[in-house]
Amino acid sequence: MEKTRFDDLLAELNPAQRKAVTHVDGALMVLAGPGSGKTRVITHRIAHLLRAGIPHDNVLAITFTNKAASEMKARTEQLCGSSSPWVSTFHSFSAKLLRRHAYRIEPYDSSFTICDRADCKALVKTILKEQNIDSQLWDPNSLLSSISKLKNVDHGDDTSLGSDYKHGQVLRDLYNRYTDAMRERNLLDFDDLLLLSVQLLEENEDLLERYREQFQYILIDEYQDTNSVQYKIGSLLAQSHGNLCITGDPDQSIYHWRGADINNILNFEKDYPGAQVILLEQNYRSTGNVLATANALISRNLERKPKDLWTENPGGEPVRVYRFLNELEEAREISTLIRGLIDAGTPCGDIAIFYRLNSFSRTLEQELIYSNIPYTIVGGVEFFLRKEVKDLLSFLRILDNPRDSESLKRIINVPPRGMGKGTIARLESVASELGRGLLDVVLSEELNDLFTTRQRKALDSFRKIYRKLNEAREESVENVLRSILRETGYEGMLERTGYEEAQERKANIGELLGAAVEYDRKHPEGSLTDFLELTAILGDVDRWDQKEDRVCMMTLHSAKGLEFPVVIIAGIEDGVLPLLRADDDEPDIEEERRLLFVGITRAEKLLYMTHTNSRQRFGQIHSSIPSRFLGELSRSTDESAAHIEMDAETQASLHGPGLRRPGFGIAPEEDFPGDIDPFSNEDPFGDFFDETEDPYKVGTLVEHEEYGEGEIVRTNGFGERRRVTICFKDAGELQFVISHANLRIIGDSSGC
C-alpha cells in the first residue's frame, strides 16, 4: 500500500479512531457506541498492522456473524490488497481448528457433521424414547437449553447439576447420553465447536504454542457478546504476548439468555492491567433527536461503561410514540404510515419494523399484504431448516459423514420406498446388537436374512441410490445435488403435493442449488465438507440481502448490527418490553433496556414507537400498559427532553387524563381514563394479574403428587399458559403450567 494512500485514509478518521487504529502492541479496549465507525476502525487497524510489517498470517480477527466477517474481510482486502488476515467468526475459527486436529479428540475425525438445533432436538427425542422418559414432562427444547448452559457456563462439568434430586439426576444422565451419542455419530453441535476447541488447546501444549506463535495480534469484535468459552479461547491465544484488541459496547449486550457474559468486557482492564481504553463517542448514523432518545434511555443503566454519545448530524424529526386500541389497529396504522412514506418517495428497503417477539409479525404481515407493500421477514423459518432443504442436506451429510445416523434416519424413506418406522427400528436394533453403524447395517447385503422380504426390497432400493450418489461424491457440490434430485426422484415426489406447495418447495431447492453454484464458483478447490460447514454456520441474517427493495421485518435481537433510514418499533409495553415479569430482576431489566437501546440506535432519520391498549396473547385478550421505558423517556428532564414527541393517548396513559388520538394524524380531544400508573410499586399487570386474589401467588405452599410439598417462588405468563416455579425440598426448583400441574394448595409460607 502506498504511504500517501494510507495517510489519506488516516486523515479521514477522527482523533479517537486514529488513536485506536495506530495502536500496535499491548492490550487495547475500544468502547464503540452505535454508529461510531467501529468496523472502519477495525479494518484500518488491520491495515496499519500490515503496513507496520506484521505478516498477514500473524493477525487473527474474530467477529460474531458471517455477514460481519465477510464485510470486514472485503474492506480489509480493499485496503491491503489480496493478503488479508484470518477473519472469521468464533464458530468458523473453531470448525477450521477442529477439521485440522479433531483426531486428537477420540473418537472424532475430520469428517464430523455440524448439527443445527433441529438435528439436536431430534437426537434428544431419540434418547428420551430410549430411556422411556416422557417428552411431555421433559421438554426437548428446555433440555437442549440446559445442555447448552452446561457447555457454555460450566464448560461441560455436569457435576454442577448434583445427583441428590430427581431433576438433576435425569438431566445429568441425559447430558452424558447426549454427549456419548454425538461422539458415536461423529456429530458436533455449535456449543461443541467452541468447547472442544478449548479442550484441544488446553490438552495439547504443542498446538497451543503453535497458534500463539502464529496469531501475534488478535482482534475480537462485539466482545460484550462473548460467553465464558469464547472468552477462554481469546485468553488462551493471547496469554503469552497480550496483544489483544477488543471492540464492543456494554450498552449493546443483549444475549445473556444464550450465555453472553457482560462481565467479560466490564472486567477487561482487570484481566489485562495496563490496557489502553479508547472511547468512540461520535455517532455518524443517527439524527440528534434519535441519539438523544437513546442516551436518555441507556443512562438509567448501572451496569455499563459511561459514554457521552454525540453527533454533528442535524436534530431531524422528533422521535414519535403512538398508542392504538389493539394489535390490529397498530398493524393497520403502521401499514398506513409505511404506505405514506413510500408514496412520498421513501424506498421500501429503507424501512424496517422491529418487535420483541416473533409472534408479532403475523398481524403486521397481514396488513402489509393487504396494502400491497413488499416485505421480507428475517429470522422466521430459517432457510436451511425448511423441510426440502434439510432433506437434501441430509443426503449430503451421510455422503460426507457415514456415521451420521440421524441424517440417515431422516432420508432413508424420502421419497417413500416402504421403509417405515418398523424397518428403521429393526435396523437400529440390529446395529446395536452387532455394534455396527446404522449405515453399515443398511448397506450390508449379508445381513438380508435378518429382515423381511418387504424390508429387503426397500433396503435394496436405498442401496442402489446410495452407491450411485457415492460415485458422484467428489464432483462439484452442484453436481452432487443434481444427482440426488435425479436418483431419488425427489422433484417427482413434490409434484404429487399441491401445486402452490410444490412451487414453493421447488423454489427453495432452486435457491439451494444457487448456493451450491456460488460456492463452487468461489471455492474451486472446495469440498462437500466445507460446503456443509458453511450451510451449518450461516443464519438467515447472514443470507439476507439488504439491497432488496422490501420492507424488512425482524426481532430486535436480529436487528443488532444493522441500520435503516426509517425504523418502527412495535409493541413497547410492559410484559413485552421488558418481557413478562422481568421487574423482579434488575439485571434482566437492564438487558431489556439495552435491547430497546439497540433498536432505537438502528434508526438513521426517522423513528416511530408504538404500543396498544390491549393485545391478544395465547388466545386471550389482555390489557396493556406502556413500557416503563416510555415512562422513563417521558420523565427526562435534561435538555434532550424535546427529542421525543408522544401522542395524547400515550401521555394520558403515562400521566393521567388527556387526549384520544386514533391513527398517525391529529386527534380530537376526548376523555381518557389515565388512572393506571405503570411506574408505581404496584403490580404492573393490573386487573388480569391481581395477586391479592390469585391462589397461585409467590409464597403459596402447594403439594405435587410426585414431588411432594413445595413453595411457589416465581410466576409468569397469562391464562392457560400461566406458569409457576416451585421450590421443592428434594427436587429443587421446577416449573409447571398451572392448568396441567394438578397442584393442591396447602397454605402460605414466608420462605423456602
Residue 591 falls in the annotated catalytic set: no
Q: Could you give the CA distance from residue 395 to residue 90 in angstroms, rounded to a whole number?
A: 27
Distance CA 349, CA 304 (A): 33
Distances in Å between the Cα of 339 and the Cα atoms of 32, 332, 371, 415, 490 are: 35, 11, 8, 45, 42
Q: How, if at all, do strands 744-748 and 700-704 pair?
A: antiparallel
Grid coordinates representing 396 are: 449430503
Bridge partner list, 646 = 321
Closest CA to 306 of 247, 248, 250: 250
**Could you give the CA distance from residue 119 to residue 194 in angstroms, rounded to a whole number?**
18
| Active-site residue identified among 216, 224, 252, 423 | 252
- In the block, residue with C-alpha cell 477495525: 42
List 119, 189, 192, 222, catalytic entry: 222
Is 307 a catalytic site residue? no
**Is there a contact between 327 and 616 (Cβ–Cβ < 8 Å)?**
yes
Kind and range of the H or E run holding 737? strand 732-737
Active site includes 735? no
- Among 18, 38, 417, 550, the one annotated catalytic: 38
Annotation says 38 is catalytic: yes
Kindly give, in sequence order, each residue whose CB lies less than 8 Å from that of residue 609, ignoring residues fewer than 6 positions away: 319, 320, 321, 322, 568, 569, 570, 572, 630
* Neighbour count for residue 227 (Cβ, 10 Å): 22
Handedness of CA 328, 334, 340, 346 (dihedral sign): negative
Mapping DSSP onto H, E and C, the string for 431-467 reads: HHHHCCCHHHHHHCHHHHHHCCHHHHHHHHHHHHHHH
Among residues 437, 438, 399, 392, which one has the least CA distance to residue 415?
392
CB neighbour class for 52 (10 Å; exposed up to 12, middle 13-18, buried from 19):
exposed
SS3 for 748?
strand
Please state, as a whole number, how many other Cβ atoms lie within 10 Å of the Cβ of residue 163: 11
- How many other CB atoms are there within 10 angstroms of residue 635's CB atom? 12
Q: Which of 116, 158, 192, 221 is catalytic?
A: 221
Q: Collapsing DSSP states into helix, strand and coil, what is residue 359?
A: helix
Copy the grid coordinates of residue 24: 500496535
Which residue among the candidates 22, 39, 276, 366 is catalytic per the annotation? 39
Distance CA(527)–CA(98), nearest Å, equals: 16
Euclidean distance between CA atoms 232 and 331, whole angstroms: 45
- 190-203 and 90-101 are packed helices; what angle lies between their axes, rounded to 10 degrees? 60
d(C-alpha 321, C-alpha 112), whole Å? 51
Q: Are 36 and 284 in contact (CB under 8 A)?
A: yes
Please check whether residue 480 is in contact with residue 398, taking contact to mean a CB–CB distance below 8 angstroms.
no
Rounded distance, CA 608 to CA 324, Å?
13
> What sign results for the dihedral spanned by CA atoms 57, 61, 64, 67?
negative
Distances (CA, A) of 566 to 291, 424, 549, 553, 608: 14, 53, 13, 12, 8
The Cα–Cα gap between 233 and 235 comes to 6
Residues that are catalytic: 38-39, 221-222, 252, 602
